[in-house]
Every structure is written in structure tokens, then in C-alpha cells.
Structure 1
Amino acid sequence: MTPWEVFAVKYADRNARTRKDSFLFDDNHDQPHDMDYFMWVLRRGSDVLLVDTGYDSEEGDRRGRPIRLNPVEALAPLGLQPEDIGTIIVTHLHYDHAGGLKHFPNATIHLQAAEMAFATGPCMCHGTLNAPFTADHVCEAVQRLYSGRVIFHDGDGDVREGVTVHRTGGHSKGLQVVRVLTDAGWMCLASDASHYYENFLEGKPFPIVVDLDDMFRGFSIIQSLASSNDLVIPGHDPLVRELFPSHGPDHIVRLDRGPLKGIGS
């Protein structure tokens, strides 16, 4: 199989956070703990897959969480125009992962059936559970469904040769992760199955959780999918930009050649 190029594209950050926002039962709960927000690009020749879409300035204003770059602007240095994106893997429908769907009008999305059922079902009657979702984003996914542009997966699924998706749940009912073949080996884009390296390496759950048992199980799944823990890519850890080489602008790092140093270095 031919390996893929993989890029992490940062579009936002939140730095007024503490460790209690990132870990349950943490002894140092009041210490600062920053968060980065990423999309991921997989490229092999002319074939380009986008993993998640980020959210735009409109959503940022609504939530009081401003962004640094709109999704379209963030992807531009990779030579990507929104109308050129034909496939998006949506790891889950939370606002910061599916909030930019409307900017990619030609894309078919890959989604777990469990995630669509969760985001449109009775659980959304509870404010705590629906808080990370935005109705307009979910409606955009439903509109894609009715126009024949949603491919559902039920657990493990193939997207391309060398690219597969795997449901973990935990943080959201239908959360899925992406396994991709790279020059460095099999990589797992963990998205919110592990927001930080510390979540999966030390078994520390993230506080926004639907099923804690699934979250712990997900920590094991993402490690089993990657050739090594150095190739598990958390969804929000600023360390990613320190461990992997930059690619052009400082908001893009290249993942597929492996890290400059190991996690424990």
C-alpha cells in the first residue's frame, strides 16, 4: 500500500484553562492547561481527505471562543480550496469538529451511525449532553444525508486503501478515530478519544464524557491501532506542535514522517 501524507492544522486555541478542565480526579486541578484545536489533512497524490472541519468565527462568537483562522483560511497554505474537498471524515458532531461543514459544499461525509442517532435522538433533551453540539451543524449533516452524501459506518470501516475508521465512543456516543498508513508506520488520529497524550498514557478521563467505560476502552483501542504510542495523535494537545516538524506556516505540522522526538523524551 502507498502511504499517506498527514498534516495537523491548528485553527484555534484556548489558554484560559486549568487541569480540572482536562482531567477527572487530577491532583493539580488548578494549574494552567492549554488546549489547541486541530483539523487533519490526509493526502496521497491527488486524493485528499479532510478529517473534521473545525468551527468558524460565527460559531466562535456565539460561544465566546474566538478562533485564529477560519477553516478555509487555515487550509489554504496546503493548496486546498473548499470546493475541492470531496471527502470528510467526521469523527463526531461536536461543534469544534463539525462546525465548518457548510464551508465544504461538495463533500461526502463519513460518520458513525451511532453518532447521527445520538445527535438527533432523545439524549439531546438534556442540556448537559447537547451542550457540545450546535443544531445547525447537525442539520447540515442531516441535509447531506438527504442529498445522498453521507456514508455511515457501524464500528470499523474502510474509507480508502490505508485509511480506516474505528468507533470508540466515550466522549460522544458515536466518536470514531482514524487509522492511516504513513511512512513512519500506522498512525491513529485519535481526535477526542484522547484530547491529550496524558489522557491515554496515564488513563486519565476527560471530563466531558457520555460513557466512561467506553472512554477507557478507547484508550486501549487507539494504542492498538498505531505502530507505537508516538504515532497516536491526540485531538487537542499543544505538544503535537512541539513533537512534529512544522510545514510552512506555524499553524501546520507534518505528522506522517514521525515525531522529531518521542513522547517521553
Structure 2
Amino acid sequence: MRVHHLNCGCMCPVGGKLFDGFSSGLTASLVCHRLLIETDGHGLVLVDTGFGNCDVLEPRKRLSAFFIAVNNIKFERRFTALEQLRQLGFNADDVQHIVLTHLDFDHAGGLADFPNAQVHVLQREMDAARSTHSFLGHRRYRHQQWDEVRHWQFYEPGGDTWFGFQAVRELRGLPPEILLVPLTGHTHGHAGVALDTGHGWLLHAGDAYFYRDEVGQTERHCTPGLRFYQRMMETDRTARLANQHRLWTLSLEHKDEVTLFCSHDAKELERMRARSV
């Protein structure tokens, strides 16, 4: 099994280091950290897709003008998962499975680039995406990105545990080393994706947290810009904060067994790429 850490989107909100903690200019640098997993006998597996080719070609038809502006999204084909796969010598049909942390616009945009893949997500997330009528809900969930998916695989939480978290271990067609770990709060059906590499666990926590110092440090810290964004996007504040605390505890008590990272922290992506070389 080989794991590639991809950046499948560039978001540069105005605020610089008030968002990312390091940029010296007016805008921040937020990534869309996705995984490409080369499995033995199960083809390629993507964890989230970031923005896709259709988003790049017709962003205002596919995405909300509100989030394009708020996140100052840069639409470039080189950031798409499909283009990065091609650079690695693969093609779209090599991707047999996509495991989604959730269905937000910056996570599910590339689904149309892989029409033959099985798409795995918690049932509650799809229910929320299909039934939302709120201002933010209508803008975060973009049915244009996933209406044409043909091969859905839906799951209910539970069935097993993983380091004290509920887990879904039997993802259809996937090896037992890949798990869904429900982490609700950011959305009603949000989940992390855990991966047993044989040398320890990786946990892609999606948007359960946003900033590197929210885990792994005895004193937790988040920049004011990302603190505001998390608060704006949450669907269940109590659940979000509880799961963040659990992730923080996991990162301290099992730091030699589990490596955590989230979706949008550029420094975490840089660190994980360095580890995988």
C-alpha cells in the first residue's frame, strides 16, 4: 500500500496569517489535502476529491458565488485530482473507490471526473445534503457536483470501535485497513477516514478541525480567521467541539500510533508529504 498526499484546491481568503498562521501578505494559503491510496487488489482509492475539472471550467455554474468570494478560490486544472493522477501515470478508470469525509463543495467537486468509482459516505451526510434549505446549506452542498454519481455506498455509524471512536470497518469492496470514523459537527454526517499503513495509523480528519495546533499540542490554538469559519460552518456546535476535544486527546495519548491531519492546513500537508518521501 502506498499513500500520496495531494493538494486538490487552492483557497486564498483575505486575512493572511489571521487564517493560516504564516502568510505575510494580504491573502492566506489554504489547501485541499486529499489522499490517493494505491492498494493491493482494490485499485486506487481517493479520500475526498477537492475541486474537479467541471468546477474549473464553469465555477459559477457549479459553485456558490458566496463561497467563491469568501474563500477566494483559485480554479486551476493542475490542482484537480485527475490531472495529478495523470502526472503519476494513472487514469480515471484506475480509481475504483472514493471515500468522502463529507459532501461540501470543496470535497466532492471531482466526483464527476471518476464516473466508474464506488463512492462511500455516511447515509446521514447524504440525507442532510438532499434536504437542506438554509442559506449556508444550499451554498455548501452543490448537487451539480454529485447528481450524476451512479455507484453510491451508504453507511450507518457504528459496528465497531477504533481508539474509542465509533467506526465503520467493512466498507464494501475495500480492504479492512480503511475505515470511516464518524466525526459529526462540521456537518451532520461528517466522518474521518482512518488508514492502517502497516507502520501506524493515519487519520484524515476532514474538517473536524482546521488548524495544526488544534491537535498534538498541550495548549490548543486556532487562528481567529479559522475559528470564525469553523463556527460559521458548523451544524452542531456541541458535537463539533466534543469531537475536536476527542481528537486532541487522541493526538496526545496515541501520538506514536496515530498521525492526524485535516483538510486545509498547508503546513500539515507539507509535513505529511515530507514523511511519505
**Equivalent runs, 1:102-117 vs 2, <5 Å:** 102-117=112-127
* 1:83 paired to 2:93: yes
The CA deviation string for residues 209-244 of structure 1, in whole angstroms up to 9 with x for no partner, is 111111122224445666428710111110024323
- Which residue of structure 2 aligns with residue 232 of structure 1? 260
CA contact (8 A) 2:129 2:137 kept: no
Segment drifting more, 150-159 vs 57-66: 57-66
CA contact (8 A) 2:112 2:146 kept: no
**Aligned counterparts of 2:260 and 2:136: Cα–Cα separation in 1:** 29
- Which residue of structure 2 aligns with residue 244 of structure 1? 272
The secondary structure found in structure 1 opposite 2:244 is: helix
Query: Which residue among 198, 203, 211 is the counterpart of 2:236?
Result: 211
- Which residue of structure 2 aligns with residue 36 of structure 1? 31
Q: Which amino acid aligns with 1:43?
A: E
What percentage of aligned pairs have identical amino acids? 22
- Which residue of structure 2 aligns with residue 99 of structure 1? 109
CA contact (8 A) 1:17 1:34 kept: no
**Cα gap change, 1:232 to 1:104, in 2 (>3 Å):** same
Query: Which residue among 142, 148, 152 is the counterpart of 1:140?
Result: 148
Segment drifting more, 69-78 vs 161-170: 69-78
Which consecutive segments of 4 or more residues in structure 1 shift more than 3 A? 19-23, 30-33, 220-227
- Which residue of structure 2 aligns with residue 261 of structure 1? none
Q: 1:198, CA displacement in angstroms?
A: 2.8
Q: Which amino acid aligns with 2:51?
A: Y
Query: Which residue among 45, 50, 53 is the counterpart of 2:49?
Result: 53
RMSD value, Cα: 2.9
**Cα gap change, 1:245 to 1:96, in 2 (>3 Å):** closer
- Which residue of structure 1 aligns with residue 168 of structure 2? 157
**Aligned counterparts of 1:242 and 1:217: Cα–Cα separation in 2:** 27
**Aligned counterparts of 1:6 and 1:107: Cα–Cα separation in 2:** 18
Q: Which amino acid aligns with 1:232?
A: L
The secondary structure found in structure 2 opposite 1:6 is: strand
5+ residue gaps, structure 2:
158-166
**Aligned counterparts of 1:212 and 1:22: Cα–Cα separation in 2:** 20
Normalised TM-score (structure 2): 0.73
Q: Which amino acid aligns with 1:152?
A: F
- Which residue of structure 2 aligns with residue 262 of structure 1? none
Matched length: 233
**Cα gap change, 1:223 to 1:180, in 2 (>3 Å):** farther
Q: 1:21, CA displacement in angstroms?
A: 7.8
**Aligned counterparts of 1:228 and 1:234: Cα–Cα separation in 2:** 15
CA contact (8 A) 1:112 1:154 kept: yes
Q: 1:33, CA displacement in angstroms?
A: 3.7
The secondary structure found in structure 1 opposite 2:49 is: coil
**Cα gap change, 1:57 to 1:86, in 2 (>3 Å):** closer
5+ residue gaps, structure 1:
247-253, 258-265
CA contact (8 A) 1:89 1:109 kept: yes
Q: Which amino acid aligns with 1:132?
A: R
CA contact (8 A) 2:46 2:99 kept: yes
